Amino acid sequence: MHIVSRLLEIATWLFAVAGGVAVFLLAMVTIVAVAWRYILNDPIFGIEDLSVALLIVVAAASVAVGAGTGSHVNADIGSKFVGPRTRAVLDAIMRILTVGIIGLASYALVAKACGPERACITNNLNIVHRPFYYLLSASMAVYAASEVLKLFTGETSDPESDPLEIVD
């Protein structure tokens, strides 16, 4: 389990770096596009395609980094009504469902995303979508793997250990 955990940490770090670079580039693209529009009174051709591609990288990085750091939102609506044993079973069920849904989405991004015509390109610059689908799929695979690891290590979402939990 330690090797899997370490590999997930490395994948999370790589996604964090890619996401950080994409956010920086997106900010630069936005600044240049706005300045170009106001100074020259003419938009840059294809800038929207570039922005969308960078946003996809940011979204993919967000999924993986959120999974690696435990930053995904979960709603705890039943822990006051059930005991710790029932809560552990419910956590396991939710993790299994999460892995199934995220695994299906990851598979669909690789196998079915472009449809039968396989013509997935942006409108202006003809940037191919497929590598971005693979990146999103990889980030969802990291999320699913982190949930599987938590399932096997028995990690639960315990409100007593959550420093951000609102106390009544």
The domain locations on the chain are 2-158
pLDDT digits (tens, 9 = 90+) for 27-72: 999 999 999 889 988 888 989 999 999 999 999 999 999 988 877 7
Closest to 24 (Cα-Cα) out of 66, 54, 53, 56: 54
Angle, alpha carbons 109-110-116 (nearest 5°) = 90
Q: In the prediction, which pLDDT does 119 show?
A: 62
Tell me how many degrees the CA angle 100-103-106 measures, rounded to the nearest 5: 150
Distance CA 96, CA 76 (A): 17
pLDDT for residue 162:
46
Could you give the C-alpha distances from 91 to 16, 78, 97, 122, 142, in angstroms and in order?
A: 27, 11, 10, 40, 19
What distance in Å separates the CA atoms of residue 35 and residue 7, rounded to the nearest whole number?
42
Rounded-to-integer distance, Cα 47 and Cα 37, Å = 11
Where does the pLDDT of residue 118 fall: very low under 50, low under 70, confident under 90, or very high at 90 and above?
low
